[in-house]
A and B are shown apart, each in its own frame.
Chain A
């Protein structure tokens, strides 16, 4: 009964170019990106005569590209102007650095899957307006016959983390994850950061689960070999350069070596986010579902910005890194 028909239509928007501003104070390192935001249907351009004014608690501070001593509660204001544009600005407050008082772990089963439950305890129970984020780095040291050791670094994505809150399959879909590398949020080639709100804490406890991949890294590497794992002797491996990235790495055919075992360690970077950072990151994540909003199915909640007169955001993060930990049986 239902059919589909294409109806082209004209997009009636303001069509004015804007300044896209992204300013992040990350543990004192302040990074500012200002870009020419081309309107849909408009001409591309560049920003010229760019001026940046950065103030801390009302006092102008020069940015040199090196960390600035920032304190919890410092009020940051970033103003950017360019030729032909009205100045744009955004502000934020430096959040306190998260304090992790304890990390513990145990092997459990979550929905029939073997997992490692990580229990991270903060120095206080987060309040409603507190936002956090976590990056998990897994380091696999693969030992080969002959004494060679090869290291694979993997930033874990939701496929590896089972759930961020209490045990349960439903929380998996509660993940909000965007890319962040300390300088830029939402870039194409950065590392995933999982956002956490106070509702995912149980008091001061944040609990999440990791897939037990310690042993299967060998299978994973074997599967990526030419011919998969069908025609080669167990444990054979094709070596190549592997480095940090979002997966076990790209294997370049080369010498055939025999892996003897793997040692896996995890380290955790725990972030405290300013509300602006969180709201913008959440909007970025939800823009992945804009097609559903444009089918009239879900609300359009991906437009948040605190840059007055422009687009983007100004926010702040602090972080603490713990690890590496070896979760042995």
Chain B
């Protein structure tokens, strides 16, 4: 028994040490953020990502970011990330320095980032350093964790809809390590009984089949040649697989959709001296979707069997091979110079293939095929330099310049992007910052719908589709008083050459000459964010408020400025956690924002006895305000062998408030009009158990 007590005591101490380490690391990061020159930067550590309420039992990077001020989430539960009035497809996602084009699973319900292997992430909404480029509205720089060089560790997580496995440890002790993360959903497994039951009810004449699965695999191998000489090899692949089939007498239908991403990189970090270090990465990234359906109808008349079949096969991808070389130079104690270059070669492709045939008694009577595809290759070199200059002990300026070129067939688009940020440390507790940045984006998401569907594809800027650009000024006051932190930040952002789908095909955008189905316009967004946090011991409370305006101008749509659909004028997020007992921690998030906007008829006329509705401007009606409470509780116990079991119970939308997801104009018998919104997402409880070893 005394031995057990001793082991338990050691385990508690080990856990406390881990907590202390995490706390000190977070505290150090907070200090760094106060001292950093950039505006609009949020740094999130792994511990923060993996604690709190987990929607569907899976911690999700994007859903964490959606709670931050200055970010609109769009449709409920989806992975929308509309940063400072952005379009949602203008965020640069980097995984270990590699651009990731598709960041969603299941149409946007889950993000592609497995938090088990993430070390930290930096989220920039403004004040972008010159080393980042290629997207207009934000940068999400995710870094996976190096594997433990000394001991083997891992974790297993089981949730209601997915499971996760993580393992790390030395390959050569002290020299080489690995970190591996695997995640897979089991919706396809749990739906097997339902499909079996449906088939027993249908009888022998009809058979249904299908299922959906998603999976992610992250791997990182780190080798330390010597202090300051490190090699990292990183790999990620994520896949979604949806299939459905229906077979009955005379007809067969099969649908299969696969989509996903793959990235791999080799990064070498080398420290020449305390004054000069470099980080060079060679990488490959691809995002692919492959959609196919097949219909076959069999008809037998007077002994002659006729099979009519139709096959559709759509493939789209974007592939990118790139090289980045980043250098840090400290020529003296007043300057920190960063400079470097990048070069990316892209392949963009979208193709559709449709075939149909009629076969009579085994002989092809009729066959037709229809192919269309659009492909581009482009080259995007860029150079940058930035200098963090310590002008005085309390005045810092970061001056940077990025020059990028985008070469696409028939056109070369140059882009000169100045980046400037000032920081004035008024005293030890208060600082003021101001920044101006210009960003360009040479990739366009060709999508007819606001969902992450496999039918979406990425296309480059062309001679007809200009690069999108944004200019943003941001500034604020940042204070820290003991456990309290209070930040106030404002921004004004303009966006040019942004595209909105204006084609007539409602769901599937055209492939060839896709540019003509988009209309060009501009946008602007301005507002302010307030962030107040209290953090002391086991209690952590944060409150975020955003007041913002987001507008668009599309000549071919309206001809004047109008409020955008994600113009959430007020947004409030309250986040609290309390580690109230040794094994217990509770979490609560309350989310509120002004309703999204939709377009209702504004007027009507009666023509020939029939009513015709008229629309005065886009997004003229605001949906009811959105609010939701999420609750969570962790039970955590550390065993004598230092293994740890954590059980998380999360309740999404705890008071079951159905928020408006869509709305329609309704008329009663007396001709009175009203808006009728429909809420779709109720209370969702989930439970997840994680065992760490």
Residues of A within 8 A of B (CB): 1-14, 17-18, 20, 35-41, 109-112, 128, 167-170, 173-176, 184, 186-189, 197, 199, 279, 282-283, 285-287, 289-306, 311-312
Contacts and interface: CB of A to CB of B under 8 A. Distances in A.
B565 A300 contact: yes
Contacts of A36: 605
Contact of A296 (B448, B601, B662): B662
B356 A111 contact: yes
Q: Which residue among A37, A170, A279 has the maximum number of chain B CB atoms within 10 Å of its CB?
A: A170
Contacts, number: 211
A197 B600 CA distance: 28
Given A8-B674, A9-B660, A300 B619 contact: yes
A18 B603 CA distance: 8
A269 B500 CA distance: 32
Closest 5 CB pairs of A and B: A300-B599, A37-B603, A295-B662, A5-B658, A7-B677
A111 B368 contact: yes
Interface string B431-475: 000000000000000001111000000000000000000000000
A7 B658 contact: yes
B600 A299 contact: no
A282 B519 CA distance: 13
B663 interface: yes
B504 A10 contact: no
Contacts of B505: 170, 173-174
Contacts of B363: none
A35 B607 CA distance: 9
B210 interface: no
A167 B371 CA distance: 10
For chain B, the bracket of interface size reads: 35 or more
B605 A293 contact: no
Contacts of A111: 354, 356, 368, 370
Contact of B599 (A10, A14, A302): A302
Q: Which residue among B357, B603, B620 has the maximum number of chain A CB atoms within 10 Å of its CB?
A: B603
Interface of B: 74-75, 308, 352, 354, 356-358, 366, 368, 370, 372, 448-451, 500-506, 508, 510-511, 513, 516, 519, 554, 556-559, 565, 596, 598-605, 607-608, 610, 612-624, 658, 660-665, 672-682, 684
Contact of A279 (B556, B623, B676): B556
Contacts of A41: 672-673
12 contacts: A8-B675, A11-B674, A168-B372, A170-B354, A173-B506, A188-B608, A294-B599, A295-B661, A298-B506, A300-B618, A300-B619, A303-B615
Contacts of A282: 502, 504
A279 B557 CA distance: 8
B603 A7 contact: no
Nearest to B682: A3
Nearest to A37: B603
Contacts of A167: 370
Contacts of B662: 294-296
Nearest to B74: A296
Contact of A13 (B449, B554, B621): B621
B608 A187 contact: yes
B557 A18 contact: no
Given A20-B614, A296-B74, A35 B678 contact: no
Given A109-B366, A301-B618, A40 B559 contact: no
A163 to B, nearest CB: 10
A9 B623 CA distance: 8
Contact of A299 (B75, B500, B513, B684): B500
